[in-house]
Copies of this chain bind each other. A is one copy, B any other.
Amino acid sequence: MKLTTRGRYAVTAMLDLAINGGSRPVSLADISGRQEISLSYLEQLFAKLRRGQLVTSARGPGGGYRLARSGAEIYVAEIIDAVDESVDVTNCQGKGNCQQGETCLTHHLWEDLSGQIHDFLSHISLGDLMDGRGRRPSQQMTDGAFQTLSIR
């Protein structure tokens, strides 16, 4: 998982959609105007969001995008995953050159770490953000979640 400005753009746009989208779809031109993101760039992002089943689209006048589910059921992690896709798994894959198992060691470590952050963001929904809380109390990060975060 990466945390970059693109993910921020996507979360921003989706939140705009959650706030401004009632029964009617919201056009990208509207989001572009409100959030000051280039229209063409939004088109690229929403192509990915649609592929990721996070939004549905309607063409023609009065058309635009809607959330595919309620905001309470769309999590920040999903949005970021949809637009940031591939976490590159650079080093020491097929190559057997991991001396003392160390190159792979730190690689796994980092994967676990980013997995924890992913879990964390998986508990924050658009609805939570609109309601003014980061996360539902019922979905709490437990110490158990950290068992896997270790050197292998």
Contacts and interface: CB of A to CB of B under 8 A. Distances in A.
Interface of A: 1-5, 8, 11-12, 15-16, 19, 34-36, 76, 88, 90-92, 97, 99-100, 102-103, 106-107, 109-110, 112-114, 116-117, 120-121, 124, 129-130, 132-135, 137, 140-141, 143, 146-147, 149-151
A106 B15 contact: yes
Given A11-B109, A36-B97, 9 more contacts: A3-B3, A34-B99, A113-B124, A117-B117, A124-B149, A130-B151, A133-B150, A135-B149, A137-B143
B8 A102 contact: no
**Oligomer copy total:** 2
Nearest to A3: B3
A127 to B, nearest CB: 12
Given A35-B102, A102-B16, A134 B116 contact: yes
Given A3-B117, A4-B4, A117-B3, A109 B15 contact: yes
A74 to B, nearest CB: 15
A57 to B, nearest CB: 22
B76 A113 contact: yes
Contacts of A5: 88, 90
